[in-house]
Amino acid sequence: MKKPICCHMHTRHTKSQRKTAIDLLGERGIMRSSELRASKIHCQTLARMVKDGKILRAGRGLYELPEADYSLNHSFAEIAKAVPKGVICLISALQFHELTLQLPPHAWVAIGRKEWMPRIRYPSFRAIRFGEKAMSVGIEHHVIDKVETPIFDPAKTIVDCFRYRKKIGIDVALEGLRNGIRERKAHPDKIVTYAQDLRIWSVLKPYLDATLAEISSEHT
């Protein structure tokens, strides 16, 4: 008995959606469900593909390919998708720039004071509200696993670590400062500029002076 024509059309349509989903995820790395729906891929198709192991539901509304070769910073790419207006900051930014040996249990993300606070269980992150000025300077865009990911630059990250030293610990801020200067990833003049603009210069100055003196003595 032949299948009705509508069943054949439905099967072809579903296969087309599956192929489109796999092609898009292969091209972009991670996608939100809203992005996939905009490409005319139905929620039912995504659910079946997850059940069949064709794609992975990385978190609420986040999809990726299960067999992809992801980098060590993959969680930052997932955060960039889950929190589109956030910026990787503090210890996580230090980690990305290889300025700390700390391995935080969650990603640190800066969001604006008036932004909606995301409520997601995965990826694990801790959001810190930054003022308008702090959110508008020092942002770099790095491509991690095909996802454009905003991360504060090394000098801005160091300054932010001193601003939030009570949350992350002064020892972590100092580690970032010393490594940033030693490895020439954060120029002292840039640190000074950020610190003055963000009104933390009086706190940071003695630490910067001591670090520069310490590093200078190592080369004499």
Q: Which of 11-25, 121-135, 147-161, 202-216 has the lowest mean pLDDT?
A: 11-25
Supply the pLDDT for residue 8.
44
Edge-to-edge order in the sheet of strand 56-59: 30-32, 62-64, 56-59
Say whether pLDDT at 99 is over 90. yes
Burial class of 200 by CB neighbour count within 10 A (0 to 12, 13 to 18, 19+): middle
pLDDT band, residue 220 (cuts 50/70/90)? low
Supply the pLDDT for residue 118.
75
Please, what's the b/e burial string for 10-29 (b: 16 or more CB within 10 A of its CB; e: otherwise)?
Answer: eeeebeebbeebeebbeebb
Say whether pLDDT at 1 is over 50. no
Query: Quick one: which of 148, 133, 155, 12 has its CA closest to 77?
Result: 148
Q: Which of 12-16, 118-122, 180-184 has the lowest mean pLDDT?
A: 12-16
Mean pLDDT across 37-41: 79
pLDDT band, residue 151 (cuts 50/70/90)? very high
Say whether pLDDT at 7 is over 50. no
Question: Are the CB atoms for 136 and 125 separated by under 8 Å?
Answer: no
pLDDT band, residue 82 (cuts 50/70/90)? confident
Q: Report the amino acid identity of residue 34.
A: S
Query: Quick one: which of 140, 164, 165, 144 has its CA closest to 152?
Result: 140
Supply the pLDDT for residue 5.
43
Supply the pLDDT for residue 165.
97
Q: Which of 80-84, 134-138, 178-182 has the lowest mean pLDDT?
A: 80-84
Mean pLDDT across 100-127: 86
Supply the pLDDT for residue 69.
58
pLDDT band, residue 201 (cuts 50/70/90)? very high
Sign of CA dihedral 151, 157, 163, 169: positive
The pLDDT tens digits of the residues spanning 12-38 come to 556 788 777 777 777 776 777 777 788
